Amino acid sequence: MIEVTRKDGKESAENLIRRFNRRVQQSGLVLTVKSGQYFEKGLSKRERRNKAIIRTQRKALKLKKIKLGQK
């Protein structure tokens, strides 16, 4: 739980909200909640391997095109 209190009695609500938002962003809480928003079925070992192979092939093709001066 993230708590933010006023530094002094004169601190404005805008500054308090700004400090709270910054603390929430730095804690990574928003990313954690968003990642758990939808259930994702786990991939089997074979599917992970196939996706990794495709990813490396695409990366190699992209680098080759860059070296040849193509888009």
What is the residue extent of each domain of the chain?
1-39, 41-71
| CA–CA gap between residue 15 and residue 6 (Å, rounded) | 9
Q: What is the mean pLDDT of residues 65-71?
A: 90
* N-term to C-term CA, the chain: 48
Question: Which residues are CB-contacts of 21 (< 8 A; sequence separation ≥ 6)?
Answer: none
Q: pTM for the complete prediction?
A: 0.49
- The whole-number pLDDT of residue 3 equals 84
3-61 pLDDT, tens digit per residue, is 888 888 888 989 999 999 999 999 998 988 998 899 888 999 999 999 999 999 999 99
Question: Which residues are CB-contacts of 71 (< 8 A; sequence separation ≥ 6)?
Answer: 65
Which pLDDT band holds residue 63 (cuts at 50, 70, 90)? very high
